[in-house]
Amino acid sequence: MMEILSATPLATIQDTGRHGFYHDGVGRSGAMDGLALALGNGLLGNEANAAAIEVPLLPFIVRFETDLDVALTGADCVARLDDVTLPPDWAFSVSAGQTLTLSALREGCRAYLCVAGGIDVPEILGSRSTQLREAFGGHDGRMLARGDRLKAIWARVGLPGGGLGASAAAAALPLGEPGQTVVRVMPGSEYDRFTPESQSSFWTSDWRVTPQSNRNGYRLAGSALTMRDSSELRSHGVVPGVIQVPGGGQPIIQLADAATMGGYPKIGTVIEADHWRLAQAAPGATIRFVETDVAGARAAQAQLDAFIADVRAMAARQRGAAERWS
């Protein structure tokens, strides 16, 4: 059991998302940075879809009322367990009465607190994710607030004494220059209706993440994209990653809490294997798009899955070695 002592708005419980209800108008939800969730759950030996707390704004302070093993992944922030500083992407043991404080961000913008077995909230439509717009799932269908008390499904997972970490995802899966956010994009169904100049500037411009960016989507700012014709479109299905271009020519990337339908032209889609990169791009950061195709997207997903599987397998060995010593 743990109690939230301080939470800025927008902290929510998320797992890998709610799949298979698009026909009912229920979007995917789920962790924005699915890789951070996978690494945290992998370090702890949890099921892949165990629920964690997604923390997009700091500070976040939680006090543990019982002994528990947890993992902190995603954004690198100043994190302390009582007064001991914690490394990033780290699984560690906490004792009843200890307090975890996440304060200033160093890199990235979303931290994930995973717990042994996952956060124990009811599964609704096959997921524990918070469906914010429809107000169900997670903790009472809402953002976490001070005083909320949450329970983990397990307690201890046999971590080594000093803790257990995953190596940096950005170093294991490099794309572009260090510190730069580059994501791979497949051209969308209306790509050919944009002017050649706009098609070219889409791939070559820096796109700035504006403050009007959240779990629904990121509004980007850059050179306006124009179409050769402006005929109306009917509404069509939209999935996380779709890049729409409304009338003003400034793109929107639809993300975890995107509506299931929309009528804006689609210039492209960010491949799923790169969504974690977007999740850690804070307002003010710039994004670059590079073109890929279905084969490229599949290869990227295979590489991402292999990294997660490696961490999970080696973490299991390290926990096994620690168990024999306990």
Partner 1 sequence: MSKDIALLDDLLTRMLAAGLIDLDIETDGRRIRMRLGNGSALSDAGEPVAVLSSGIGQFRAAHPRRPGSSISLGDTVQAGATLGYLQSGPTLLAIAAPMAGTMTEILATDGDTVGFGDRVFMIKGRS
Positions that interact with partner 1 (CB under 8 A): 43, 76, 83-85, 87-89, 106-107, 160-168, 171-172, 307, 310-311, 314-315, 318, 321, 325
Q: Which is nearer to partner 1, 95 or 200 (CB)?
A: 95
204-234 burial string, b = 16+ CB within 10 Å, else e? Answer: ebebbbeeebbbbbbbbebeebebeeeeeee
Nearest approach in angstroms of CB 129 to partner 1 is 27
**Nearest distance, CB of residue 111 and partner 1, angstroms:** 13
Tokens at 144, concatenated: 């976490």
Separation CA 173–CA 115 (nearest Å): 25
For the bound state, the minimum distance from the C-beta of residue 248 to partner 1, rounded and expressed in Å, comes to 37
Q: Which of 244, 247, 209, 255 is nearest to 108 (CA)?
A: 209
The C-alpha atoms of residue 87 and residue 78 are separated, in whole angstroms, by 8
Q: For residues 258 and 241, what is the distance between their CA atoms, to the nearest angstrom?
A: 9
Backbone angles phi, psi at 73, to 5 degrees: -135, 180
* Start-to-end CA span in the chain (Å): 23
**Maximal C-alpha separation, the chain:** 69
Residue 281: alpha-carbon gap to chain centroid: 11
Minimum CB separation of residue 55 from partner 1 in Å reads: 17
What is the sign of the dihedral through the CA atoms of 19, 22, 24 and 29? positive
CB burial readout 272-303, b (16+ within 10 A) else e? ebbbbbbbbbbeebbbbbeebeeeebeebeee
Residue 107 beta carbon to partner 1: minimum distance, rounded to whole angstroms? 7
Closest approach, Cβ 162 to partner 1, in A, equals 3
Q: Cβ of residue 85: shortest distance to partner 1, in angstroms?
A: 7
